[in-house]
Amino acid sequence: MANQTYQTLLSLLVLLSLSAIFTVIEGSEKKLFVFGDSYVDTGNFLNSPSFKPPYGVTFPGTPAGRFCDGRVLSDYLAASYMNITSPVPYEQRKSVNQSVIGNGMNFGHGGTGVFQTMVDGPNVTTQIDLFQQLLQQNVFTKQDLQSSIALVNAASNDYDTFLVKNGSTKDLPAFAESLVNQISVNLERIHSLGVNKIAVGLVAPLGCLPLESVTSSYQNCSDEANTLANYHNNLLVQKVKDLNRNQSSASGKPVFITLDLYSAFLNTITTLQKKRAGNPTLMNPLEPCCVGLKGGGCGIVDKKGEKQYKVCEKAEESIFWDNVHPSQNGWLAVSTALQSSFRQLYV
């Protein structure tokens, strides 16, 4: 209980400190528009495990559509930096108080990607189409967008889909280039619609996901998968530099900002591994909190309604919630590490 109270207080202090650091011109109405996958989705994948226990057990206390025990990246950007309530998921826009829409809109959909993936959901291009439709319907105006931010995070599911369909890494470099080129097209399109500050997430260290590290009994990250992530990220960083040379905001500041999820996660994991080496009672940062049993996944129940998963005792100490998704504690650590990047969104 003491640890949980500490984590709650730490989370609150981070929210308050970031809100104090990141301020905008008085009177401007900040809105956040989110595009991407499960790392930013807050409730668009309606028929998914994210709406079943034990997801949402930490926040909001019940399953609500986040692939996590609590808050995800888009929640922390909204609350801790922009000081607004996390924007409503697009699929839930008609069932909420319309005043909530004043915070923007979340189009992110778990399992999707830049291109079409194995999940039948809107990819980022389609998500931007939905955003454009709302603009055409005057749900949001051009003036609304002037002080708004867009968050884009997708690509991991594209690589999973490529590897499953092709069965080898032979043409992976060419695929990575086409993927990053499409991300560039998406970023430019969002900017052309009127958003002047756009943050794009780099790929997290894929080799450190429990899905990969399980092969070493959660002792080591996969170098091969992390090499892929690094290759993608290097291409994307260069592409964003190119975009910023071609575009500038009214203030002359960069329009596009990269969020280095790779370094933020890897540094967090490395630090905790060193601490655990001196104190083996600490939770292994590479091990998921919610583990599927008998080949199942987190949240799966059998025909009798019996749980086919187990949940760790201290979710507040975990970095990963399930095989591929960070826990709320993981996202808190990453969001704290990204403070300087968040700051660039309003300088």
Give the tens place of pLDDT for each residue, 12-63.
444 444 444 344 333 347 899 999 999 999 999 999 999 999 999 999 999 9
Q: Which of 37, 144, 160, 322 is catalytic?
A: 322
**Bridge partner residues of 152 (DSSP):** 35, 200
Contacts with 208 (C-beta within 8 Å, 6 or more apart), sequence order? 221, 222, 226, 265, 266, 269, 286
Residue 269, in any domain of the structure = no
Q: Quote the number of domains for the chain.
A: 1
Residue 59, in any domain of the structure = yes
Q: Check residue 26 and give its pLDDT.
A: 34
Based on the residue annotation, tell me whether 191 is a catalytic residue of this protein: no
Residue 281, in any domain of the structure = no
Q: Check residue 98 and give its pLDDT.
A: 75
Average pLDDT, the chain: 91
Residue 36, in any domain of the structure = yes
Q: Check residue 347 and give its pLDDT.
A: 63
Residue 215, in any domain of the structure = no
Residue 298, in any domain of the structure = no
Q: Which of 11, 37, 38, 48 is catalytic?
A: 38
Asked, as a colleague might, if the bond just before 285 is cis with ω within 30 of 0, I would say no
Residue with tokens 């009127």: 194
Whole-number Å distance between alpha carbons of 83 and 21: 11
Residue 85, in any domain of the structure = yes
Based on the residue annotation, tell me whether 325 is a catalytic residue of this protein: yes
Span 113-119, average pLDDT: 98
Whole-number Å distance between alpha carbons of 230 and 85: 33
Span 294-305, average pLDDT: 89
For residues 159, 165, 169, 175, the Cα torsion angle rounded to the nearest 10 degrees is -50
Domain span at residue 42 reads: 25-206+222-262+328-346
Which CATH number fits the domain that encloses residue 143?
Answer: 3.40.50.1110
Q: Which of 325, 327, 335, 341 is catalytic?
A: 325
Based on the residue annotation, tell me whether 38 is a catalytic residue of this protein: yes
Residue 13, in any domain of the structure = no
Task: Quickly state the pLDDT bin for 247 (edges 50, 70, 90).
Answer: confident
